[in-house]
Amino acid sequence: MTDQSPGSAKREGKLRLPLPARLLLRLSSVPRETRAEVEADLQELFVPRRSHRGRVHAHWRLYHDVASLWLQPHSPVPALTGDSTLSRSKFALLRDARLDLRYAVRLFARQPAILLLTIVGLSLGLGIATASFSIMNAALRGEGIVDPDRAPGVLRTTDRSQATAWAYEEFLRLREGATRMQVEAVMTDAAAARTGSAETAVPSVGVAFVSGGFFAATGGRTTLGRPLEPGDEQYVNEGGSAPVVVSFVFWTSRLNRDPAVVGRTIWIGRTAATIVGVAERGFSAPHNRLLWMPLTAYGAVYDAAPVKRTPDVGVEVFGRLLPDVALSEAEAQLSGVAAALPPDATAGNATLRARLDPDAGLGRVSSSDALAITLFVFALIGLVLLLACANVATVLIATAITREREMGVRAALGASRWRIVRQLVTESLALGAIAATIGLLCAYWAIPLIGTMVEAPSGADLTPDFKVYVFLAIVTLVTGVAAGLAPAWHGRGADLVTPLKGEGARYNRVAPRRFRSMLVMTQAASSVLLIVTATLFMRATFRAATIDVGFDAGGLYAVTPGLGRDAFANGGSGIRTFWARAISELQTVPGISTVTLAELTPFSDLTKSSVTSDGPSRVVYFNRTGAEYFETLGLRTLTGRTYTRAEVAAKAPVALVSESLARAYWPDQSPVGQMLPQQIPVAENRPLVIGVVADAITARLHERNAFAVYEPLDPASEVFAELLIRVAPGTDGVIDQARQRLRSIDPQADVKVASVAARLQQEAGRPRMLATLTGIVGIIGIVLCVIGLYGLTASVVAQRAREMAVRAAMGAEPLALLRLLMWDSLRPVVLGLTLGAGAALLAGRVVVAAMFFGVSPRDPMAFIGAAIILLAAAILAVVAPTRRAATVDAALVLRQS
């Protein structure tokens, strides 16, 4: 044999074919036995081409060759003829699938409208499922706290109250004294963050001021650099700029994922800070923070010089239990430390205890809430997918009816049942794959949009992660297979002969029709369920936005003084002086109608509550207020009177109760002149009820808990109080003026004025999110339903053309025919409507009533609205094809068959 290969001299033995070419070769129809030979041939061609004509040419020719192998229809490799062992390649199935795919493409090319309808339907379904899953995934991902059950919040508990806030000094003592757990503190706030000096529009971002062991205690890790460490608290004493850890989201969105970001300086509030690390993706505790700084940097961020080295506001304390320490054990030990704390102004003479609550602190959503939302959203996603699936199945069945003949021919020619089913499934999977791609694009586009609509916090990381892709893949697969199996099931037991006889021998089997009706029914039912839920949520949103909190939040502002620690000295005389001056100053500002002090202002994160000891225990909120609190909030006095300034100054043992509380404990009589009932625990003297005021919701909006006890704010408690300002409506610039006045009292005070309306709006965000989500899904549901119904009706009506022609020939009026066809098509819709309404009623009961913000799950408006919308849509979908069929020219149709 003569070696004819011209390039043999220059052949480099070690050079292998490029990997993609090898992979493509494996997937081609070249049988395994000859693959090695073909590969060697390809390489022998590739190497000299590469050295003579260059890489580009060699690669071009190589892939051209590989493509030529792919395109050869019947494994052309010569070895097949020589060898008698004609084994099927491992990829025979793939080859068949390719064939199936080719049929599918051919079919779709013939019926582009069907293809379009199905893809639109499926991509909408998959897109919305992906987007909602993605957002829920982000919402429920948690904030990256490792083993959160072992990191309980530490509640400051006295006999009559418990609160999450501790004074910074108290925290230091707790940290020193704790032996069973690592005690850490965190305080959240917002500050303007500039990443470069040129930046102009500076958004305010969430900052967490944390104690040194915060990252160790929460389990937060960093992608770059290091987390904050206990030593970082000392930076204030050592000089230099504040260390800061930035979140992954901040790093991505504001710092362009700069890999050399560690060591870079950014400006936060009034201070420069050096980035020491980038937190791992997914870590955002607490409350979607973007930045973490040491607690000791608080003063530097907010204060003008001189900078205070310790924060002067309450900090939230939490802990990490040491290994093998039980919660109760740690709690007992920590309570011992708390009891030994020096009594301060707020605690009075009550003993302090520490209570550990794994559900409190660190921005945790209570687990039952999270679970309810998860279940709800998954039910929603399931419903949408069911809808999309039923829809695609309906459309495929519609085509299958017209393809019965094709299937009959194929079966008659010897195609196995399995082969035909596989053909159908391949078709729907191909559709699914296309739809998934479009759906993913939709989701990418929709996620930020939905994110804005639901007012996702800026720190939330909404980008789909790995889990979302897996979810989409699984869902596509399941939907594809299910939708493909439906027509197969529909066509089960089909005889081969009848379809071959052609149109003239149309037959009407009962079972497939019933199956078809069931699909339509399913769609109608899920649509109704969705629309009803959406309507309920929509109404809940309006309700939450306009929820009667009992007072007008607009024009109400809360002021925190931001005074230094020295203001706390001597029992807080500095603060008291400040408040006294502030009140008298502010009262002279035109446009401010009332000013009052209150220990707790509405919808601040702090609450003080106690739990009643009777039957169904209730949470009662406590507040200490100035005399003008009720006037400022606008709470009516229903019976009795409010306390006077004199009573406030004297710390008289009197109290006001809210209307609900009064009704619960004194159902038939006036509470005025009674002692506060024993079931409500109080620490000091049991106060005398002197009046009843209107209900007001000031803490958790969705709880709508208006059980409240108001007591006079004694001077000692003013230290931790906030100021409430009521601005008269229709006045401008009042708040700026107020801010200036307050600054003029104490130029170093870092006065913050927060709008109560804004706090309320934030609080009302949750139902809006669900409403938006369900609303979008509901609309898509209707669209899907209409698409499916239209496709099915068109094909069924076409199928019944002959029957209609016969009826017409027998003298049936076109109107009667129309009625018959319409009713036949709409019957399953009406049935589905009833079913869906029933399901919605049940679901309404199951979905926690709390989420509906006082909207009854049986809201008739929602049900009637849903029924009208769906029926109108269904009639629209049905009317066009049926009209066409009813006005059929009988002679023409009958001649055709």
Partner 1 sequence: MKSERLGEFEEFTLLAVRALGDNTYAVPIQQYVEKVTARAVSIGSIYAALARLEEKGFLSSTMSEAVAQRGGKSKRVYTVTPGGLRTARDLHRVRERIWNVIAEGGRS
Pairing relationship of beta strands 654-658 and 592-598 according to DSSP bridges: unpaired
Least distance between partner 1 and beta carbon 35 (Å):
10
**Percentage helix, strand, coil, to 5, in the chain?**
55, 15, 30
Q: What is the dihedral of CA 75, 77, 83, 88, to 10 degrees?
A: -30
Whichever of 14 and 106 has its CB closer to partner 1, that residue is: 14
Whichever of 67 and 511 has its CB closer to partner 1, that residue is: 67
Whichever of 33 and 369 has its CB closer to partner 1, that residue is: 33
Query: What gap in Å lies between CA 97 and CA 426, rounded to an integer?
Result: 7
Whichever of 81 and 200 has its CB closer to partner 1, that residue is: 81
Exposed e or buried b for every residue in 381-414, given b needs 16+ CB within 10 A?
bebbbbbbbbbbbbbbbbbbbebbebbbebbeee
Q: Which two tokens stand for residue 394?
A: 């309906």
Query: Would you call 74 helix, strand, or coil by DSSP?
Result: coil
Whichever of 67 and 892 has its CB closer to partner 1, that residue is: 67
Whichever of 41 and 147 has its CB closer to partner 1, that residue is: 41
Whichever of 71 and 474 has its CB closer to partner 1, that residue is: 71
| Amino acid at position 602, single letter | P
Whichever of 49 and 807 has its CB closer to partner 1, that residue is: 49
Least distance between partner 1 and beta carbon 74 (Å):
9
Whichever of 6 and 306 has its CB closer to partner 1, that residue is: 6
Whichever of 78 and 730 has its CB closer to partner 1, that residue is: 78
**423 touches 431 (CB < 8 A):** no
345 burial type by CB count under 10 A (0-12 exposed, 13-18 middle, 19+ buried): middle
Residue 469, number of CB atoms within 10 A of its CB: 14
Residue 36, number of CB atoms within 10 A of its CB: 9
Tell me if the bond preceding 687 is cis, omega within 30° of 0. Answer: no
Exposed e or buried b for every residue in 879-892, given b needs 16+ CB within 10 A?
bebbbebbebebee
Least distance between partner 1 and beta carbon 1 (Å):
5
**286 touches 186 (CB < 8 A):** yes
Least distance between partner 1 and beta carbon 92 (Å):
18
Contacts of 649 (CB under 8 A, 6+ apart): 715
Name the strand (E) or helix (H) holding 575. helix 569-587
Whichever of 10 and 827 has its CB closer to partner 1, that residue is: 10
Query: Would you call 28 helix, strand, or coil by DSSP?
Result: coil
Least distance between partner 1 and beta carbon 96 (Å):
20
Least distance between partner 1 and beta carbon 49 (Å):
10
**556 touches 734 (CB < 8 A):** no
Whichever of 60 and 823 has its CB closer to partner 1, that residue is: 60
Least distance between partner 1 and beta carbon 60 (Å):
10
| Amino acid at position 177, single letter | G
Least distance between partner 1 and beta carbon 4 (Å):
4
H helices present in 313-366, as ranges = 327-339
Least distance between partner 1 and beta carbon 3 (Å):
8
Whichever of 30 and 183 has its CB closer to partner 1, that residue is: 30
Give me the phi and psi of 196, to 5 degrees please.
-150, 160
Least distance between partner 1 and beta carbon 489 (Å):
41
**822 touches 879 (CB < 8 A):** yes
Least distance between partner 1 and beta carbon 39 (Å):
8
User: How many Cα atoms within 13 Å fall on the side-chain side of residue 332?
Assistant: 4
**Residues found near partner 1 in the complex (CB under 8 A):** 1-2, 4-6, 8, 11, 13, 36-45, 61, 64-65, 67-72, 76-82
Q: Which of 285, 174, 181, 277 is nearest to 232 (CA)?
A: 277
H helices present in 340-416, as ranges = 367-412
Query: What gap in Å lies between CA 63 and CA 19, rounded to an integer?
Result: 12
Least distance between partner 1 and beta carbon 426 (Å):
25
Radius of gyration of the chain (CA): 36
Least distance between partner 1 and beta carbon 69 (Å):
5
Name the strand (E) or helix (H) holding 153. strand 153-157
Strand partners, 156: 163, 354
Least distance between partner 1 and beta carbon 44 (Å):
5
Whichever of 36 and 810 has its CB closer to partner 1, that residue is: 36
Q: Which two tokens stand for residue 47?
A: 């190497």
